[in-house]
Every structure is written in structure tokens, then in C-alpha cells.
Amino acid sequence: MSKQTEGIKALVERRNGAKLGGGGKRIEAQHAKGKLTARERLALLLDEGSFEEYDMFKQHRCTNFGMEKTKFDGDGVITGQGTIDGRQVFVFAQDFTVSGGSLGEAHAQKICKVMDMARENGAPLIGLNDSGGARIQEGICSLAGFGEIFERNILGSGVIPQISGIFGPCAGGAVYSPALTDFNIMVQDTSYMFLTGPAVVKSVTGETVTQEELGGASVHASKSGVAHFSAASEQEGIATIRTLLSFIPQNYRQKAPDLPTSDPVGRVSDALNDIIPDNPNQAYDMYGVIGQIVDDGAFLEVHRNWARNIIVGFAHIGGKSVGIVANQPKVLAGVLDINASRKAARFVRFCDAFNIPLVTLVDVPGFLCGTQQEYGGIITNGAKLLYAYGEATVPKVTVTLRKSYGGAHIVMSCKQLRGDVNYAWPSANIAVMGASGAVEILCSKEINAIEDATQRNAVRDEKMKEYDELFCNPYQAASYGYIEDVIEPRNTRFRIARALVQLENKKQDVPARKHDNLPL
């Protein structure tokens, strides 16, 4: 056998060994936990045969605590590039079968390389996290590695889309990389995120809590808002990543790809003419409105289980990707609170960063009141949403369906925040507040001075009717040019689609500055 042949044979054997990660027993242990391996995840994520792996043979250089005796090719992370639906992406997937997927110097260098390549080539970055955290044996080198990764997350923010899949443990400093990315996907029962684990929590606070209760998918999807998506399985989580990419562009210079549809742009929806209840205090489901105006009723909701009084997500209208922000009257009457403001602000800023037009559906009675909200900073948090809409330069189309009161009216993409096309349904009430509250403030002395209860109620009703006629309709706003048109609800899809076409080449300058200083 020639040296060349022997060399090729050795290469093949070493490559096959590297693909086994920590070996058969550790792979079996991974499967026993209901988890896929790193390579199995990448096979599901990427188009078949498209993966080009980098640094397969990279190893750590640590000699502390006997680490020189434990070396694996790849050092616990698989990195490279491939395609999803034919579009280039850069990926890394931590391999829990090798040293628990722990991060050391070489491990971090591999991740940093693909992060740099993603930014330089203008392609999305997808990280699949499954790691025990910093490799303790490497000390400061592990911490430095995390710092290098975080810096690249920051440099790539708003330049390329960054998506994190949490498919196992993600604890300590490791949580900050996913927190810096645009979207996080977690898997129920097998993934968790927290800064300190249950044992440390117990020793410091005395609180007894499980990993799932402390940082499981359900916690972060419904309570903290850290997770944008919660999947029932890894397969569902990976499918969500692929679907998410179909709505967003490769980088900030490009637009999201169009998606051909057989759903006519001019389709009318008679159901919308009857969706608003006669009673202004009665709820209806905003999902019913969204489903009628988007292509084929398809809507990818973000943060479905967190701050449910506002809805955000992606859809296509006329084949074009849009970001939808909508108040939800079925939850807290659609009022804006701290979490709803934060949720919507972050989404609006993502859409603006990546050239995705915004469609805003408004039915908001105001901001949530009370000491809990005021102490928690509703003023600053509400200002985040106001700021996000005000700075956004993408096409913005707003439709007011019913209530649009007070400061919440301003915050929800009004004309004064550079809304491009603002429509209203005939049922829209655009005012400082509702008639009942307004009359109570404006006419309370006059009304309360009337001794006869029947007459007092009659005067109150008359004043409320007067206020309704003046303000609780869309026509005063239309008379000032604050809305472009009052439209028939059944035509909403067509009017939005046409506005988006008209705004397709919109250009809007902003003042020169180093960077903004939004209220954090």
C-alpha cells in the first residue's frame, strides 16, 4: 500500500471518528434523554448535502487537571456553512457528547470563525446550543472565549439575522449569547436557560426549585419572554427555524424573499364587516382579523405565550413579507403594559433593521394603570415602543379598527411617528379617552349639581352622545389629515397590499449621529 493510499485511509478513519463525537455510548446517552446529536440536528436544519464543515480536526491545548489525556477532534462543537431552501447560512452546533459541550479556547475560536464569516458574507447565523457552560479546566480562557463570542453577537446585530436554538442546557455566562441574538427557540422538557442553577439558588436564597421551574421552555416562553418560540420537540424547533428564515432577508442590505401565492390580493372578507361588536366593551379575537388579511391565512407568531395582550409575528401580504403588530382585545382589553411594550418594541426594531414593512392593527384603550406598572417603569417601557416606531424607516401601514385612546394612540404607529399610510374603519374611535371618562372629567360638576337622578342621568347621556359625535369616530382625525382614508373593513387586505406596493421604494433620511440612545 502506497503512502498516499495509507494517508487517505487514515484521513477517512479520522474523519469518521470525528463524526462520532464522544463515541457510541455517549450518543446513546444523548438519545436516552430524548435529545438528538449535534450532527443529527444539522442534518434536519440544512438542505441535504449542503453542509460544508470547518475545523473538524481542531483540538484544545489545555493541560490542566489531566485535560491533555482527553482530546477529541472538533472540541465539542461542529461549525460550517450550508443552505436552507437554497439560501446560505452559517451554523454552529455544540456537541454535548464531547466534554458536555463545554466551551474552552478552541471551541470558542471555532464559533467566532463562523460568526465572522457570516457577517463578512452577509448571511444568517444559526447557533444550536447544548452545553454545560464554561470549561472550568481552562479558566480565564473559557471566559475570554465567551467574551469574544458576545462581541461578535454585538457586531452582527442589525447586520445579519442571528438565531439561537436551545436544545439542552444553557447556563451561566453562556446565556448571554442567545440573549443577544434576534430569536431564541427552546424545546419543552429538554432545554433550559438560567444564570445560576437550582443548587446555587437553594444555597443563596433558600428557595427550592427544579431546573424546569427555574429556566425551562415554558417559563421563558410565558413568564420572562427570553424564548420567542417554544417547541414540543427538537424536530419542531428546527422546522420553526427554517420557517422563520423564509420571512427574513439574508442581511440588512437585502429584502426578504417574496413568496408566490394563489391568494388574490383583491380578495374581500365580508366577515370583517361584522367582527366589531356593537358593545364597545365587548372583546373579539384579533387573530380573526389577521387571518383574513394575510396570504392563505398563514401567520408565524412570535412570543405567542408572553404578553398576550399584544400580538406580533410574520406573514405575507401579496407575496411580500411583513411584520404584524396588533392589540388583542381578548386579553386585558388590548391594553399596553410593560411587557407588551417591550415585546412589540423589540419586534418593530428587528423589522426595521431588516427592511420588513410593518402592518399595525390598532384597538387599544390605553396604558395599564396602577402602582405595579408605575413602579416597574411603564413610562420608560412604553417609551421604548414609541421610540421604535418613531425611528423606523421601513414602510408603515396602520389600520385603526376600534379604540385608539390617549398616549397609546400615539405609540401605536400614528401619523406623527412617521406612519406612512394610516387607515381607519368606520368603527374607529380616535380620542384622548372614551366618552364616559371624558364626560366625568369635563362635566362632573355640572352633572352632579342636578338633584333629580333621572335628569342627571339624561344630561350625562346627552353629554356622552355629544362627545361621541365629536371624537369617537374616525372622521375628525380624517379631517385633519391624520388618517389617509376611512375604509370598509372587507377591503382591508387589498388596501394594505396596495399601500405596500406604493411604499416599496420608500427612502427616509435620519439625522447624522454616532448612534441613538433609546430609553432602555
Active site residues: 172-173, 407-408
User: Distance (Å, rounded) from C-alpha 449 to C-alpha 469?
Assistant: 24
Edge-to-edge strand ranges of the sheet holding 183-187:
52-54, 77-84, 87-94, 125-129, 162-166, 183-187, 229-231
| Helices 105-121 and 140-156: angle between axes, nearest 10 degrees | 10
The three-class DSSP label of residue 504 is coil
The phi and psi torsions of 79 (rounded to 5 degrees) equal -130, 155
Residue 378 CA neighbour count, 13 Å, CB half: 17
Task: Using the structure block, give the residue that is written with the C-alpha cell 380616535.
Answer: 430
- DSSP secondary structure string for all residues of 250-314: SSTTS-PPP---SS-TT---GGGGG-S-SSTT----HHHHHHHHSGGG-EEEESTTSSTTEEEEE
User: Distance (Å, rounded) from C-alpha 331 to C-alpha 307?
Assistant: 9
Strand partners, 163: 126, 183
Q: Is 394 left (phi over 0), alpha (psi -120 to 50) or beta?
A: beta
Q: Considering just the CA atoms, what is the radius of gyration of the chain in Å?
A: 27
Q: How many CB atoms lie within 10 A of CB 513?
A: 7
| Chain centroid offset of residue 374 CA | 25
Q: How many CB atoms lie within 10 A of CB 485?
A: 12
Residue 182's alpha-carbon distances to 161, 204, 234, 320, in angstroms, are 7, 32, 19, 21
Local structure of residue 157 (DSSP, 8 states) = T
**Residues with Cβ within 8 Å of residue 493, at least 6 apart in sequence:** 265, 267, 268, 269, 292, 293, 294, 317
**In 3D, which of 218, 379, 359 has the Cα closest to residue 293?**
359
Q: How many CB atoms lie within 10 A of CB 10?
A: 10
Task: Using the structure block, give the residue that is written with the C-alpha cell 427574513.
Answer: 248
Task: Write 256-260 long-range contacts (CB < 8 A, 24+).
Answer: 256/320, 256/321, 256/354, 256/355, 256/356, 257/87, 257/321, 258/316, 258/319, 258/320, 258/321, 259/295, 259/316, 259/319, 259/321, 260/319
Grid cell listed for 363? 384597538
